[in-house]
Amino acid sequence: MHKVLRFFLFCVVAASLSGCSGAKKLTLAPIKTFDPDNGNIPAPDDKEENQIWDIMDMTFFYQVEKVLDLNWSARKVGKGLGLARGKPADNVNALDEVPNSSWYTNRHYHDRMSRAELRRGPNTSPGPDQSGAWTITAGKFEGGTTGFTIKDGRGDRYLLKFDPPGFQEMGSSAEVISTKILHACGYFVPQNSVVYFDPELLQIGETAKVAEGGFKRKMTPADLEALLEPIPRRADGKMRTMASKFVNGKPVGVWNYIGMRSDDPNDLVYHQHRRELRGLRTISSWLSDEDRRAANTLAVYTTDPETGHKYIQHYLIDMGSTLGSNNIIPHAPKYGNEYLIDPRTVGLQFLTLGFWVKPWEFETGHLNPEFSSVGYYESRIFDPDDWYPTYPNPAFEYATLRDVFWGAKIVMAFSDEDIRSIVAEAQLTDPRAEAYLIKTLIERRDKIGRYWFSKMNPLDKFDFARQGTILKLTFRDLAVDSDLEKEEGVRYIHTTSYRAGGVHRQSVSGKPEVVISENGTGFLDDLIAARGSKKERDKIFSTSIQVERPGRALSKKVDVFFYYPGFSGEPRVVGVVREE
Amino acid sequence: MRRLGQVLLIILISFSHVISGEKDRSDIPDEQRPVEERERGDSVPETLGKVPGALVSFPLKLLFTGARKTARVLDDNGVVLRVTDWLTSADGKRKVRPIFTPLSGGGLAFKQNDLLKPGLRLRASASIGVRTRRDFFIGLRDEALFHPRLGFEASAFHTRKPDEDFFGIGNNSSEANETNYLHRENNVRLGVVSRIGRRSLFSMLATYSDVRIGEGRDRDKPSLDSLFTSQTVPGFFGADVFSTGASFYRDTKDTNGHPTRGGEEFIAFEVGYERGGSEFGYHKATADFSRYFNLFYKRVLALRVRAEVTNSIGDRRIPFFRMSELGGQELLRGYRPVRFRDRDMALAGAEYRWQVQHFAIAYLFVEEGRVFSDLIDEFSLKGFRYSYGGGLRLIGKDRNLITIIEWAKSREQLRFIFRLNVGVKKL
């Protein structure tokens, strides 16, 4: 047995050493902004996920497997001892950002979207065409809300979802607001809109069915009448619904937050190690999107209009259980604060005989919410670091500080006005409810920014700028930009050095910039002249920056690597490394 | 030392690339390289690190692959929905549930409210267990059949307990005298019930019981007649007993499952005679009070006291199976069922309950109790037996108790108890 163990350890050591030696030098190649994962692939199988199994798998089996994973456990122990960090995300570029792919597109944070774009979100139309009849083609058999599928006069198919009795506007508002926010964050989402329609438009199609006692049977006018009966009408007779347009392409099931899809050759990164899925944790915590699980995803076999390639695009769907809504009832305080079955809280409560009180135990706002159209969405006890989805999500569990910081940057990109614009799309009839929702979104956003920006160096968007004869490395202080910190008294301490280390110069500035050269005279110019090297790679330098705010400890470092060919050349940032 | 070395080595392996990556901070870390320049997925050490976990969980996953596929087939075909729909009505008036107790075995319980007419309730259960153990019950109740405040109750019950323990009568009955007998009982009950307010119920019931005692099926224990006689144990062969009684029950609990305030009060008086004989005759008074105190947010202290006094009528005797009992699932849980018998008993208990999940209530309890030949004349705090323990109660969406998992300790033994959907015989 010992021999087997030794052989196994030998293999691990050998493999790990070979893996360690593979660190690449800095490249001068352009920063990668696109992951070419849209190569032409054969039609994949439809992949179904059993929801009950997923809960069991993630809650029990995955947890056991995770602890037995030496890397996970060793990193956990090492992290506790301050010796190691969590496994970094696998698909970030040299700037620690996510390239565009079939999973994600950089949007609002990198190129600010206009208010109109934010309001529009992914929509190409305001909803189903109301100039003609809507034919009901199928009932809705999954999820808690009532609804059905229709085909409008243009031939577009929509899933209509109605708000639960007693909580009018709650689910539809949550779905539309969160969809637009997630779209602006960069994810692929369906076109969801709040629509008021005349029920007379509805016609029962030949294929429309309803579920009764586990059986499906043809939908009758009585079924439709019973379904619509509890839904209130406006004075003009119209009803409110949430219309979700079917996405282009062929749905091929769900995608998981762990592993890779075996029938997708483009799928090269373990999903739990994708930055955009790990960082989604921060965005989900903002939106109280505890239902972010495999069942609420959609893989679509789609065609690239430019190349004609057929590939899988990855969607987030079903945002009806976000903000204050838990589908048909308001969110319970438990959600977001602990898993459905949470060994951590159960164990603590068990061992302390109940004397350890969960901070959310006294919350009763969900029982009789102040605004039935909002449900239970609060910012008082919300803790960005202690937020949990309904059951374990591997990508969220693997998220490192850099991942959640990436998510926080995106969350903080939404200004108060941006939020107001998006919330207006929900068409809430009670202005007080709308104001409450906006206020809570802003408060939770600020909590996220304050917390995660204090855990990492909040400097970003590094670039070069010329001002007369001065060449500067500029950057943004995200904490100041989002009004979480004051500009006065801030000092940026930077140490610029040749990339091989050794020679360096420290300076301090009160503005988010580092002077690199003044008319060709400067520390780096002298270094280049002294070295006399012709190699382009030898013209890579680094600046390590820390932030000092009045009354605060010095922040962690962010190292910016840049290519500086001399004052007359075109300098550019080639890498960013953040200290965790 | 070698093991410690191996552990250190594993940790070193896992951190090695982190350490090596920090030697030269001018390099962009490996994981930040463009994705197409990397191998598919994890690096080799990361992948190897997963092997032990995968090896351990593989048999589990294999086992549950079958369950997964079955679950999918059941789900896709709506089998669960269909069965649930068949067994449970949408309005919750009809419901079938699995039941299990160690004493009765496993089976099913059925309830139907508003049967034939509004207010008429049917409850039925059937369970079977080892050694031909069986337990059948059916009951009907309509609390407003004759008048809005006057109704009726009827029930029939059959039980066969093939291996009941008997240790003798009295608080000092010895464990060494453990014997075994078969208890078979058919029981029919009929009476009137009157709802007083929303929370109280008064009932007057007449009960006919046919009790037969026989040789126990547990061959490892001596039979009842090897140590006891009909002289020392009244009702040695069983008896037909006709009894009448009145009871008052008041329930002020705020909820089922995990009550946080209020309580329950039960007072009963019963007179029983042997049918077709003059050997047995008794009257029995019972009082049982429990109260719940919310210490702080759903951390509850539950207190309970119970006393029973049984007296013979004239020179008649009290059959042993109608005497007061202690031990088992409800009374002095650290002792085996009916560990102590005598004419009277007293019990006091305290239970601290706290909610660990919305469906799980943990609890710790301590109980003291003893049987007396005469509670009034001989009452003394000496000789009380105690038991303590704890457990977990799982409650359903309807706030009813689903499962009890409990351990209980006494001076004689440590008991582990599992019960599923208990309390179904409550009309």
Residues (pLDDT < 70) of chain B are: 1-47, 57, 64, 68, 75-76, 81, 84, 90, 422-427
Provide the shortest C-alpha distance from residue A130 to chain B (in Å). Answer: 34
Residue B305 located in a structural domain: yes
- What number is the ipTM of this complex? 0.70
Give chain A's mean pLDDT: 88
Second-level CATH architecture of A459-578: Sandwich (2.60)
| Residue A35: per-residue pLDDT | 87
| Residue B21: per-residue pLDDT | 36
DSSP notation for A246-289: PPSSEE-B---SSS--TT-TT--S-GGG-HHHHTHHHHHHHHT-
In 10 A of CB B210, how many CB atoms?
Answer: 15
A100 touches chain B (CB under 8 A): no
Provide the shortest C-alpha distance from residue B210 to chain A (in Å). Answer: 43
The position carrying tokens 């029962």 is A204
Q: How far is residue A245's CA from residue B90's CA, in Å, rounded to a whole number? A: 32
In 10 A of CB A463, how many CB atoms?
Answer: 14
Bridging pattern class, strands A134-139 and A209-212: unpaired
| Residue B292: per-residue pLDDT | 96
Structural domain count, chain B: 1
Q: How far is residue A335's CA from residue A358's CA, in Å, rounded to a whole number? A: 12
B196 touches chain A (CB under 8 A): no
Which percentage of chain A shows pLDDT scores above 70? Answer: 93
Residue B40 located in a structural domain: no
Tell me the pTM: 0.81
A575 touches chain B (CB under 8 A): yes
Q: How far is residue A310's CA from residue A303's CA, in Å, rounded to a whole number? A: 4
A502 touches chain B (CB under 8 A): no
CB pair distance less than 8 Å for A341 and B75 = no
A184 class by beta-carbon count within 10 Å (0-12 exposed, 13-18 middle, 19+ buried): buried
| Cβ-Cβ contacts under 8 Å, B42 against chain A | 90, 270, 273
B293 touches chain A (CB under 8 A): no
Residue B74 located in a structural domain: no
Chain A residue closest in CA terms to B296:
A355
Residue B377 located in a structural domain: yes
Confidence check: pLDDT of A376 > 50: yes
Interface mutation target, options B6, B9, B13, chain A, most CBs of A under 10 Å:
B13
Which range of residues forms the domain containing residue B194? 88-420
Residue B140 located in a structural domain: yes
A90 touches chain B (CB under 8 A): yes
- Range among A35-49, A174-188, A324-338 with highest mean pLDDT value: A174-188
CB pair distance less than 8 Å for B80 and A214 = yes
Provide the shortest C-alpha distance from residue A362 to chain B (in Å). Answer: 7
| Residue A519: per-residue pLDDT | 85
A158 touches chain B (CB under 8 A): no
| Cβ-Cβ contacts under 8 Å, B9 against chain A | 9, 13
Strand partners, A218: A209
- Assess contact for B8 and A81: CB atoms under 8 A: no
Dihedral sign from CA coordinates of A363, A367, A368, A372:
positive
Chain B residue closest in CA terms to A557:
B25
pLDDT 10s digits, A275-289: 999 999 999 999 999
| Residue A548: per-residue pLDDT | 94
Residue B35 located in a structural domain: no
CATH number at residue B264: 2.40.160.50
Query: What residue ranges in A22-133 does DSSP mark as E strands?
Result: none
| Residue B209: per-residue pLDDT | 95
C-alpha triplet A202, A206, A208: angle, nearest 5° = 65
Q: How far is residue B406's CA from residue B13's CA, in Å, rounded to a whole number? A: 44
Lowest average pLDDT, out of A117-126, A215-224, A324-333, goes to: A215-224
Dihedral sign from CA coordinates of B171, B176, B180, B181:
negative
Residue type at position B69: K
Chain A residue closest in CA terms to B30:
A23
Confidence check: pLDDT of A16 > 50: no
Helix axes A431-455 and A416-424, enclosed angle (nearest 10): 140
| Residue B96: per-residue pLDDT | 86
- Of the candidates B34, B40, B80, the beta carbon closest to that of A32 is on B34
What are the residue boundaries of the structural domains of chain A, listed by start? 36-455, 459-578
> Which residues of chain A from 420 to 479 reach within 8 Å of chain B, CB to CB?
none
- Assess contact for B369 and B345: CB atoms under 8 A: yes
Q: How far is CA B272 from the centre of its chain?
A: 28
Provide the shortest C-alpha distance from residue A480 to chain B (in Å). Answer: 27
In 10 A of CB B4, how many CB atoms?
Answer: 8
For chain B, the maximum distance between any two Cα atoms, rounded to a whole number of angstroms, is 103
